[in-house]
Structure 1
Amino acid sequence: MVDLTLSEAELERHREHVTAFVREKVEEAGVDGAVLGLSGGIDSTLTAYLIVEALGEENLHGLVMPGAVSSEENMSDAERVAQELGITYDVFEINPIVDRFLDAYPEAEGDRLAVGNARARTRAVLNYLVANHEGALVVGTGNRTEAAVGYFTKYGDGAVDCHPIGNLYKQQVRQLAKHVGVAEDLAEKVPTAGLWAGQTDEGELGMDYDTLDAVLALHVDGPLSVTATARQVENASEDDVRRIREMYERSEHKRSVPASPEPLQ
């Protein structure tokens, strides 16, 4: 399998690169601070650590936004991260807001995907409400792996001003998190988007992240064919590789601005 392990020197370079990026984006926007949704997962945890390093704890406002299916452990971890970093944070229950959407459109009740995405988009609206009021940037937590396969909600967790860890594969997110001092139990916890009860990222993707990272690096981002990739990646069949390629192609619209017709000549 392809080795995506970063050396200590490479991890330090990524750390410096990301923190410089955050400072640059804040300066370009003419603001002083950032707003970040804290889920208790490794992506938002690492991003919070790096923002504090870049801007100082006084310039990051964390939002913990539990929904009907949010686990107590994740929400507790989200508050733990905020408290460990010494940042200001608020807890907003999103259930009443999502319930009002369903009151307006009851036909969607029970549609797991539609309601799950509504939860993600509700969080995005709250992020921007706070950021607009405070004159801050909304910072995202997307990584390279999930962006490639479209594993995020369009105009939900994808609705942000920048993604500081967007060039890191998921396993590299874990590596960098440990490098900057994130606790082992947070760095290694099972990832979940928290869109519905019992949901886990790897269960929904049908593949563990290390295998997915390898397929993306060798085939989608790299030069190898489907057959060659399957030979290189122990836990991925040719059908698995094709499925990941299809996910990448189908989710292209999520990584692009909304399309318009070409101008008339």
Structure 2
Amino acid sequence: MEQKVEAITKWLREQVEQANVKGLLVGISGGIDSAVVAHLIRRACPEQSLGVIMPCKSNPADQVHAEKVIQSCGISSLTIDLTDTHNLMFENIVEQLKQSGSLNPQQKQIADANLRARLRMSTLYTVATNHQYLVTGTDNAAEWFTGYFTKFGDGGVDIVPLVNLTKGEVREMAEYLGVPDEIINKQPSAGLWEGQTDENEMGTSYAMIDSYLKGESIPEKDKEIIERMHKRTEHKRNIAPGPPK
């Protein structure tokens, strides 16, 4: 694990140098992935790293956990509450859709959640431009393969240091780096709505996805779910396509 941490830390420094920027920032959600990234960028750029907490209709416990991440790694931080911004924007959009007669109530919840993710992305890039930093993503191998992220939301980043690590490896790295136990052991959730968890929404577990990515045998039901998610979300892993020449 020490070698993995050192390799990623070195790679992060190289990305900063190649992009000719000053440092790195990450949005800290209170979950394990962003906690690990916060620790990594603090190691890579001790004086030029920033953790941004962005509550937006969020569970108060998530902000408490995010602040504990800040304390555990000693990274500089900034808190920007996006709740009012989101409410104003989303309510205006919904009202215009209602007036046009095109509002789809079945899609309202996911549209609300995706807008929050994209507002956070816009906020991170605004702060990053101010500091001349790269926006560092938090997706791990399981999330990337299944497309379990919002396109141009939490998937809208400059670099993705955890993309080759399974969820289990991220957990091991969190323990090594000193991420607080309550964050390591909490149930993974994007905090999109009350009671939402990653695994309930996906219909399978991170353990199953990790096993699949390692080439291990898993139940056919889980294999079908994972492969279906991967195929359906291929567009998220590619830049916007254009027609052939």
TM-score (norm 2): 0.92
Structure 1 spans left out of the alignment, 5+ residues: 1-10, 219-228
Tell me how far apart the structure 2 counterparts of residues 45 and 71 of structure 1 sit (CA, whole Å). Answer: 17
Q: Post-superposition shift, 1:72?
A: 1.4
- 1:78-227 paired onto structure 2 within 5 Å: 78-106=66-94, 107=97, 111-218=108-215
User: Equivalents in 1 of 2:214, 2:240: separation in Å?
Assistant: 27
1:48 to partner: Cα distance: 0.6
Equivalent residue number for residue 225 of structure 1: none
How far is the alpha carbon of 1:30 from its aligned partner?
Answer: 0.9
Partner in structure 2 of residue 59 of structure 1? 48
For residue 103 of structure 1, report the CA deviation from its aligned partner.
3.1
Q: CA deviation at 1:170?
A: 0.7
Show CA shifts across 1:121-157 (max 9, x none): 0000000000001111111111100010010000000
Larger mean CA deviation between 20-29 and 176-185 belongs to 176-185
Which amino acid counterpart does residue 59 of structure 2 have in structure 1?
Answer: S
Matched-pair contact (CA < 8 Å) for 1:31–1:135: yes
Structure 1 position 31 matched with structure 2 position 21: yes
CA contact (8 A) 1:140 1:158 kept: yes
Contact 2:23–2:45 (Cα < 8 Å) also in 1: yes
Structure 1 residues 97-106 or 46-55, which shifts more? 97-106
* 1:109, distance to aligned residue in structure 2 (A): 9.1
Q: The residue matched to 1:105 in structure 2 has which SS?
A: helix
Counterparts of 1:240 and 1:143, CA distance in 2: 19
1:261 aligns with 2:243: yes
Q: Distance in 1 between matches of 2:146 and 2:28?
A: 22
Tell me how far apart the structure 2 counterparts of residues 175 and 213 of structure 1 sit (CA, whole Å). 13
**3-state SS, counterpart of residue 193 of structure 2:** coil
Deviation of 1:251 (Å): 0.7
AA matched with 1:86: G
Q: Aligned partners of 1:198 and 1:50: how far apart in 2? A: 29
Unmatched tracts of structure 2, length 5 or more: 98-102
CA distance in 1 between counterparts of 2:204 and 2:182 reads: 21
Structure 1 55/109 Cα, relative in aligned 2: closer, same or farther at 3 Å?
Answer: farther
* Equivalent pair of 2:25/2:135 in contact (CA under 8 Å): yes
Aligned to 1:5: none
CA contact (8 A) 1:46 1:182 kept: yes
- CA–CA distance in structure 2, aligned partners of residues 126 and 87 of structure 1: 18
What is the distance in 1 between the residues matched to 2:19 and 2:212? 36
Supply the distance in 1 between the matched residues of 2:114 and 2:10 (Cα, whole angstroms).
32
SS across alignment from 2:149: coil
User: CA 1:109–1:36 in 2, change beyond 3 Å: closer, same or farther?
Assistant: farther
Alignment partners' CA distance in 1, 2:84 and 2:104 = 14
- Which residue identity lines up with residue 254 of structure 1 in the other structure? K
User: What is the RMSD of the two structures over their aligned residues, measured on CA atoms?
Assistant: 1.5
Q: The residue matched to 1:148 in structure 2 has which SS?
A: helix
Shift of 1:93: 1.3
